A and B are shown apart, each in its own frame.
Chain A
Amino acid sequence: MRIKVLAFAGFREILGREKEVEMQGDASIRELLETLAFVSPRFREAAFEPSGILRDYVLLMVNRKRIDAEKDLSRILADGDELAIFPPLAGG
C-alpha cells in the first residue's frame, strides 16, 4: 500500500515536503515512522528518543485529524492514507 507523507517545519527540512512511501502488507503508524527513520538517520535522531520512544514534540495527523501519539501508533494505515508529521504549533 502507498501512504502519502507530509512533513512541516523542521521535519520538512529533513524529509522533504511530501513523499509517497510504499509499505508491504498491513502497516501501523509506528512501522511507517520506523521506515522513515531507517531511510533517514537524521529523522530518527529528530523524531525518536535513543530508547526508541517517539519524542514528545512529534505531532501527527492522519487524513487531517490529530492522533494521540501515545495511544494510536499501533493503528493500521489504509492504502492512500495521508500522514502529516510536524512539531508543536507556533503560528500567530
Chain B
Amino acid sequence: MIEITDEEISLEQMIQRARSSQAGAVVSFLGTVRDDGILGMEVEAFRDAALSELEAIRQEAMSRFSLTAAEVVHRTGSLALGEAIVAIVCSAAHREEAFSGCRYILEELKSRAPLWKKEISVDGGRWVEGK
C-alpha cells in the first residue's frame, strides 16, 4: 500500500498488513524529524505524481527482491520534532531481501518522488536542498 497523508503514520498497522505466512522477515524503516536547531518541518508533495512514482518504486522492489509485501507512507503538512516523515515496511521470505527492499525503496524515493521538506526555525524557514 502506498499513501501520502497529513495524518500521523501508524507503523503498527503497516507491519500488520505486511505480515503473512509466506514472510520470514519484516523490516521497517522510519525517517523522523531531527532537531538540527529547528522548530519542526513542513512537507509538501506533488501528490498525484508522487503516488504514481512511489507505486512504480514499490513494484520494482517487489519483483527485484522477491518481497511478499511492501508498504510506503509519506507524511505531508506540519511535523513536530521526532515525528515520522516516512515509513517503509518490507516483508520477504528471508531477511536479506527484506532489508534490501527497504533500502532500495528509501533511496529511490529520495531521488525520484516529487516531495520537498522545509525546516522551520525561529528565523523563518529553509527548503532542504534536494537531489
Contacts and interface: CB of A to CB of B under 8 A. Distances in A.
Note whether A and B form a binding pair.
Answer: yes
Interface of A: 6, 8-10, 12, 61, 64, 84, 86-92
A77 B106 CA distance: 34
A88 B113 CA distance: 10
B49 A91 contact: no
Contact of A8 (B109, B114, B129): B114
Interface of B: 31, 43-46, 48-50, 52, 74, 85-86, 106, 109-118, 127-131
Contacts of A91: 43, 45, 50, 74, 85-86, 109-110, 113-117
Nearest to B76: A91
Given A9-B44, A9-B127, A10-B127, A89 B116 contact: yes
Contacts, number: 69
A10 B116 CA distance: 9
15 contacts: A9-B44, A61-B114, A64-B48, A86-B116, A88-B130, A89-B114, A89-B115, A90-B117, A90-B127, A90-B129, A91-B45, A91-B50, A91-B74, A91-B114, A91-B117
Contact of B49 (A9, A10, A61, A87): A61
Contacts of A8: 44, 46, 114, 116
B127 A87 contact: yes
Contacts of A61: 46, 49, 114
